[in-house]
Amino acid sequence: MLEPTPSDLPSQVQSLLDYCAQLERQNRQLRERQQSLLQERNRLRIVRDETQKQVEAMIDRLRAMER
C-alpha cells in the first residue's frame, strides 16, 4: 500500500466532509422517521384504548341483558 502524500490531503478532507454531510442527512431522515413512528404509535394507542372501552361497554350491556 502506498503512503499518502500531502497532495492527497485535500481530496481526503473533501471525502470526509462529503461523508459527514451524507451521515447528517441520514441522521435527519432517521429522526424524522422516528418522530413519525412515535406519532403513529400514540395514535394507535388512543384508537386501541377507545376500542377497548367500547368493547367493555358492549360486554357490560350484554351481561345486563342476561339478568
8 Å CB contact between 34 and 26: no
DSSP state of 1: -
Average pLDDT over residues 1-24: 89
Number of H helices, E strands in the chain: 1, 0
Confidence (pLDDT) at 1: 58
pTM comes to: 0.70
pLDDT in tens, 57-66: 999 999 999 8
